[in-house]
Amino acid sequence: MVQVELQVNGKSVSRAVEDRTLLVEFLRQTLGMTGTHVGCDTTQCGACTVNLNGMAVKSCTILVAQASGGSVVTVEGLAKNGELHPVQNAFVQCHGLQCGFCTPGMIMATERFLSKRPSSLDDETIHCALEGNICRCTGYVNIIEAVRHAAHDMYPDLPQSANEKGNA
């Protein structure tokens, strides 16, 4: 067993866990936070993406012991004071989900991508930002639209990219 201590969505958490416990297992099974999904368990799909110390990481690929001392934000931690995060809102507004299984990971990856003002919102840039995330429903058109919607919401002066009009 190993003692881990970390911040999860701004709250201090301390638990004794088996050494081999993955971060995603810790979130879902130890803390009961099931918003972070497990799609593949083999670093392929991105459904388990969380923000660890400011970076989007696949939580099925890291031991919680490795994250100890750090700060984790999950999809449950994005809304503030009852208001959805702009990225969450954009996925709702743009119908950026079908079954919803990939959605927490897509939202977390998008939130990290847009945590800094993007230099471009063209297709290639967004594809690169979300390249680690797979949607088995293949709902990419609306997902990409949601990314752009969120970007313009968060950075209202962002110019429109040349290829962003309806050809995502």
The phi and psi torsions of 23 (rounded to 5 degrees) equal -60, -40
Residue 22 CB, nearest distance to ligand FES (Å)? 9
Q: Taking CB under 6 A as the rule, does residue 64 contact ligand FES?
A: no
Is 13 a binder of ligand FES (CB under 6 A)?
no
First and final C-alpha spacing in the chain = 48
Distant-in-sequence, close-in-space partners of 27: CB < 8 Å, separation ≥ 6:
8, 33, 36, 50, 59, 72, 74
* Residue 97: both structure tokens together: 């989900």
Among 33, 50, 58, 68, binds ligand FES (CB under 6 A): 58
Stretch of residues binding ligand FES (CB under 6 A), selected from 98-106, 117-125, 144-152, 153-161: 98-106
Count of CA atoms in the C-beta half-sphere (13 A) of 52? 23
Judged by beta carbon, residue 43 or residue 163, the one nearer ligand FES is 43
- Using CB under 6 A as the binding rule, the residues of this chain from 106 to 165 that contact ligand FES are 135-137, 139
Q: How many chain residues bind ligand FES (CB under 6 A)?
A: 22
Could you say which of 7, 15, 30, 38 contacts ligand FES (CB under 6 A)?
38
Q: How far apart are CA 110 and CA 154, in angstroms?
A: 12
Q: CB–CB of 158/151 below 8 Å?
A: yes
Which pair of structure tokens corresponds to residue 149?
A: 């919607």
Binding of residue 29 to ligand FES (CB under 6 A): no
Nearest one of 152, 156, 154 to 164, comparing CA atoms: 152
Binds ligand FES by CB under 6 A, chosen from 7, 13, 35, 41: 41
The residue from 5, 29, 40, 124 that contacts ligand FES (CB under 6 A) is 40
Report in angstroms how near the CB of residue 43 gets to ligand FES at its nearest.
Answer: 5
- Chain residues binding ligand FES by CB under 6 A are 38-41, 43-48, 58, 60, 97-102, 135-137, 139
